[in-house]
Amino acid sequence: MEYRFDFLVIGSGIAGLTFAIKAASLGEVAIVTKKDKLETSTNYAQGGIAAAFGADDSFENHIQDTLSAGNGLCKRDVVELVVRSGPERVKELVEWGVRFSRRSDNPLDFDLGREGGHTKNRIVHAEDMTGRAIEQALIRVAENHPRVHIFEDHFALDLVVEYSGMRIGRRFRKRHKKCWGAFVFNKQRNEVDLFLAHVTLLCTGGAGKVYLYTSNPDVATGDGLAMAYRVGAELANLEFVQFHPTCLYHPKAKNFLISEAVRGEGGRLIDKRGRAFMKDYHPLGDLACRDVVARAIDTEMKKSGDDCVFLDITHRSKDFLIKRFPNIYEKCLSLGINMAKEPIPVVPAAHYMCGGIKTDIHGCTSIDNLYAIGECACTGLHGANRLASNSLLEALVFSHQAYLHVSEYFNTLKDESFPLLSVGDAPYPLVSNALAQSEMIFIAHNWDVIRKVMWNYVGIVRRDKRLMLAQNHIDQIQREIYEHMPNIPLNTDAMELKNLAVVAGMIVCCAILRKESRGLHYNLDHLQKDDENWKRDTVIVLDEE
Ligand SMILES: Cc1cc2nc3c(=O)[nH]c(=O)nc-3n(C[C@H](O)[C@H](O)[C@H](O)COP(=O)(O)OP(=O)(O)OC[C@H]3O[C@@H](n4cnc5c(N)ncnc54)[C@H](O)[C@@H]3O)c2cc1C
């Protein structure tokens, strides 16, 4: 099939939906999403959205907390923009029907929570299911809009990019690129569709699945990052992977997060013997920033050889826990853990990509008519470490920025004729979701190896030698994929493997380049922060010459 839309939005999380709802005032919008529309990281967000609403709070406080978490790499103008427009964007969510936890009947009298790294209570939340409340409300608004069309089970494969420029000698210089949409695998019909659009947005979320342990849902395979890389967009700061300190450790709990807010409400980290250890690592103890807490747990686990540590909030009453953390309480209880009576077993897990596709203050990438918003983007807000609950906020603010930007020139853009391209030009000769056993083994094996290599060699604490080992492994897997992939019919597992390998390669590359320790990048061979050489982004781009 071949479709023509004004806007193609890839991804149905907070970034994609927010932009789609706004852009529908300008033209027809297609949202393609690779599984069920609700299957997004947004839907699993627990803690909330940071915004300076409190009487004792100010924009300046929120700005300072964000800058200090970001450790010298945040872009001040972006931080100012995001923080200052935060309350307005949160109010817009309330207008769209999101019901946040409140202290009174006034819909804006939020019950503000506190999380690590914040000096004030400023987390707007809906109990411990903030993401679900947002996702469901946005889906409702989008689905009720006649100009928004949602395509579930549609997996974006590659961007359609037009190149122009001039040849100087044997080289193609001043290459100019314009995006016109994407080839998309329709999983229901097992065929490739062409979605042409005047404006394309990558809103594909994070890449937690590149690590063995992650809080992210299965969709987080970094497809947007890999697609952008393949067409030569700039990416930045991929070495800054945030590990959440407390994921539930239980064989039956896949990717379940124990929100930071549990520590905000007095939860203490203890080891198997009941010793509280966080004061040994930081004066703020259990309320230190995520990177400090994750490294402390990693160290404790390596010292003791234990499989996990424990989060103890048994001093709080059962009634309080059920009211404040209904989702976590239920989940733990369903696995036989009564958090009111016993500590919760937890481990750190890959949680958030601070780096991504490099954008400007409007969400524009280095390719014309291609925007990146949400977790797949690197806007300059987070720098070397994201302040908790700033990511939902960033997605809201940048969806709005992209909408404002595109509104300015959309009238001229919509008259441009689409390129002469048809679905027959799709570069995927074999298409099938039914694979031979050997092909499935090839995919499953390499997927497994990537995730283990990344966890063991490119994890919370890094060393030069381990990074080089990781690079060798990932290079080898990329070679195998390059060799074997053309014989494997196109299917989503194979595409995800290919994308994971690209993303793993980029993370390793950035981590090798940065010869210092800063924020989330902690290398035992370069323990000092090196402002003279490294107070800058790590930018990578495909060498197409
Ligand atoms: C468990 C958990 C808790 C969190 N808690 C918080 C919190 O309290 N506060 C906070 O600020 N942040 C939190 N975060 C982070 C935050 O939820 C995410 O950064 C944010 O939701 C990302 O939104 P997004 O729209 O960019 O991507 P997502 O919400 O992840 O959506 C990505 C979309 O892209 C689609 N997609 C991906 N690849 C393709 C493809 N190839 N083709 C088609 N579709 C594709 C996916 O199917 C999905 O629809 C949490 C994250 C997790 C995992």
Buried b (16+ CB within 10 A) or exposed e, 349-386: bbbbbbbbbbbebbbbbbbebbbbbbbbbbbbbbbbbb
Is residue 290 part of the annotated active site? The answer reads: yes
Does ligand 1 have an atom closer than 6 angstroms to the CB of 506?
no
Secondary structure (H, E, C), 92-132: HHHHCCCCCCECCCCCCCECCECCCCCCCCCEECCCCCHHH
Domain with CATH 3.50.50.60 in the chain: 1-240+354-416
Does ligand 1 have an atom closer than 6 angstroms to the CB of 369?
no
Q: Of all protein residues, whose CA lies closest to atom 27 belonging to ligand 1?
A: 205
Does ligand 1 have an atom closer than 6 angstroms to the CB of 113?
no
Q: Of all protein residues, whose CA lies closest to atom 9 belonging to ligand 1?
A: 389
* DSSP codes of every residue in 445-512: HHHHHHHHHHHHHSSSSB-HHHHHHHHHHHHHHHHHHHHHGGGSPB-HHHHHHHHHHHHHHHHHHHHH
Q: Which of 34, 38, 41 to mutate to test the pocket of ligand 1 (most atoms within 8 A of CB)?
A: 41
Centre of ligand 1 to C-alpha 205, Å, is 4
Centre of ligand 1 to C-alpha 526, Å, is 32
Domain with CATH 3.90.700.10 in the chain: 250-349
pLDDT tens-digit profile, the chain (545 residues): 999 999 999 999 999 999 999 999 999 999 999 999 999 999 999 889 999 999 999 999 999 999 999 999 999 999 999 999 999 999 999 999 999 999 999 989 999 998 888 999 999 999 989 999 999 999 999 999 999 999 999 999 999 999 886 555 555 555 789 999 999 999 999 999 999 999 999 999 999 999 999 999 999 999 999 999 999 999 999 999 999 999 999 988 878 999 888 998 999 999 999 999 999 999 989 988 888 999 999 999 988 999 999 999 999 999 999 999 999 999 999 999 999 999 999 999 999 999 999 999 999 999 999 999 999 999 999 999 999 999 999 999 999 999 999 999 999 988 899 998 988 888 887 777 677 788 889 999 999 999 999 999 999 999 999 999 999 999 999 999 999 888 888 889 999 999 999 999 999 999 999 999 999 999 999 999 999 999 999 999 998 76
User: What number does the ligand 1 atom closest to the CA of 375 have?
Assistant: 26
Does ligand 1 have an atom closer than 6 angstroms to the CB of 205?
yes
Centre of ligand 1 to C-alpha 304, Å, is 34
Q: Of all protein residues, whose CA lies closest to atom 46 belonging to ligand 1?
A: 11
Q: How far is CA 51 from the centre of its chain?
A: 19
Q: Of all protein residues, whose CA lies closest to atom 37 belonging to ligand 1?
A: 204
Domain 1-240+354-416, classified CATH 3.50.50.60, yes or no: yes
pTM of the complete model:
0.95
User: Which one of the listed residues 290, 324, 462, 518 is annotated catalytic?
Assistant: 290
User: What number does the ligand 1 atom closest to the CA of 374 have?
Assistant: 26
Domain 436-539, classified CATH 3.40.50.620, yes or no: no
Q: Of all protein residues, whose CA lies closest to atom 53 belonging to ligand 1?
A: 216
User: What number does the ligand 1 atom closest to the CA of 256 have?
Assistant: 1
User: What number does the ligand 1 atom closest to the CA of 130 have?
Assistant: 8
Cβ–Cβ < 8 Å for 25, 93: no
* pLDDT tens sequence across 472-508: 999 999 999 999 888 888 889 999 999 999 999 999 9
Name the percent of the chain in helix, strand, coil, to the closest 5.
40, 20, 40
Domain 250-349, classified CATH 3.90.700.10, yes or no: yes
